[in-house]
Structure 1
């Protein structure tokens, strides 16, 4: 069973589940927006993109963020996905991650955008 994120209950009162592709997408979102040190038993999990929402924009920062995100995705989810492209942009107080990847288990190509803003 693939538990849906964020955790919730379905109409029957059971833990909500989802399909494999959505479950992997949920795991990617959790990894991207978790700050290192935030998880008790996995202090090195995450890549801390949320911290960069208010950082000054520069080409160097963009390159660093993309490198950090790609490294974290490869480390934590490299057995599940092959990254085709990754682009991280920050505008005002909104951070966007455009990711294209292939699910290794099915060979299915996926493209998705993750957005995190000041709220």
Structure 2
């Protein structure tokens, strides 16, 4: 078992745990929405995709986001997953991201979706 993200306690008042596939999804979410410089001992960790929320929705922005995401996943999570496809859609001030990948430890193909918008 792995620690669940975000960190919290379960009904037994112990650190919550999760299965491997959910843990890998949690790692992807952390990579996607962490800005460079937020991690003290890993200042280059993150994808930089949140900066694109401020850009106009266009095919070029979506392509740039896909490139950033693929690069980040290959740099930080290549030992845990193999990316099959990355789709990014910018709708107004929200990013919709779908990532299809194979969890290397299990060989299972997974599709995960993430949404993030501007804070009000």
TM-score range, shorter chain: over 0.9
Kindly state the Cα deviation for residue 77 of structure 1 after the two structures are TM-superposed: 0.3
SS in 2 for 1:41: coil
Structure 1 runs not aligned, ≥5 long: none
Aligned residue pairs total 119
User: 2:83 maps to what in 1?
Assistant: 83
User: 2:46 maps to what in 1?
Assistant: 46
User: 1:55 maps to what in 2?
Assistant: 55
Structure 2 runs not aligned, ≥5 long: none
Post-superposition CA distance 1:14-36 (Å, at most 9, x none): 00000000000000000011011
Instruction: Tell me whether 72-81 or 59-68 shows the greater mean CA deviation.
Output: 59-68
Taking the aligned partners of 1:105 and 1:91, their CA distance within structure 2 comes to 34
The runs of 4+ residues in structure 1 deviating greater than 4 Å are: none
Post-superposition CA distance 1:53-89 (Å, at most 9, x none): 1211232222221111100001100011011100111
Taking the aligned partners of 2:57 and 2:92, their CA distance within structure 1 comes to 9
Q: State the Cα RMSD in Å.
A: 1.0
TM-score (norm 2): 0.94
User: 1:34 maps to what in 2?
Assistant: 34
